Structures are given as C-alpha cells and as structure tokens.
Amino acid sequence: MAAAPGRPERSPGALPGAALAALLLTACQATAGPGPGVPRASAGAGCALRLEISSQGQSSLGTVVATGGGERYTVSSPSRRLAFVCATEVTLSETPNAAQGAVFQGWRRGRRLLRAPRTSLLLNGTETVAALYSRPAPPTPSPSG
C-alpha cells in the first residue's frame, strides 16, 4: 500500500512520531533523577524528621510533641522517625519527665544548640533534631561523724 502524497510510508504497528516522542519522554521522566542543583524533595513529597530524646537506660527523660501540616505526634521513645509532607513547618515542644527529675537543656540541630522550650523548622528533606535533657546528680551522702 502506497502512502498518500506528502505522507511518509509507515509499517504496520509503528507509532507515529509524536506518540513515540511522548512515550520516550514519559519513560525518561520515570527513570531519571533530578538534575544537578535541583532539590530531591518538593512540596507534596514525603520528608522525615528523626527525633532523638535523651534517655537513661531504655526510658527517655522527656516527651516531645511535633506538629505540622495537620499531623501531630507525641514521642516519648528515645528515637523515632516521623513522616511529614515536604515544605511543612514543624513545631516541636518538650516536656521533661518530672518523675525522673529531668531538666530540659535545649534542642540540637547539627551543631546548633537552641535553648527555647519550643522550636520550629521548615522540613525539606530528612532532618535530625535531638531534645536534650539532663538529670541532676544524686546527692552525696554526708559522712557520719
């Protein structure tokens, strides 16, 4: 069968050029990662906050509440990974374990130490924040004399 004037001949089952280009573009987008300088996480994607709480043995010295993007987590285990949508502002607040005599010392983010009882961060990937607590040393018995 000859092609109409001005139209190339096509073998049976062949895709027209536009359909083939769309198929290749879709395949490349599905397999290729972002280019250099493009952040991996975007709004709507999943990000994580790794929360660490000072502990003594298996028991943590405080509780942290993390809120943001309609999510609310109450964490009292020494370490927990929390899921949030990227580009969410997450607020952390702390409560010391009074039964253990714990005292809040601050938040550690990388090398920064923040002393306020509340802190907020814009989550754009995976972040680690530590809630730092201490316990006063037990009193030393006085020598009897």
Nearest one of 136, 134, 141 to 54, comparing CA atoms: 134
Q: Is 128 inside any structural domain? A: yes
Structure tokens at 62: 């405080």
CATH number at residue 81: 2.60.40
Q: Which domain holds residue 122?
A: 46-134
Q: What is the mean pLDDT of residues 16-41?
A: 32
Q: What is the mean pLDDT of residues 69-88?
A: 95
Q: How many domains does the chain have?
A: 1
Q: What is the mean pLDDT of residues 6-23?
A: 41
Residue tagged 């509440």 (tokens): 65
Tell how far CA 68 is from the center of its chain: 12
Q: pLDDT higher for 27 or 123?
A: 123
Q: Is 28 inside any structural domain? A: no
Q: Is 91 inside any structural domain? A: yes
Kindly state the DSSP code that residue 36 receives in the 8-state scheme.
T
Least confident of 24-33, 34-43, 109-118: 24-33
Contact assessment for residue 100 and residue 59, using Cβ atoms and an 8 Å cutoff: yes
Q: pLDDT higher for 145 or 122?
A: 122
Average pLDDT, the chain: 76
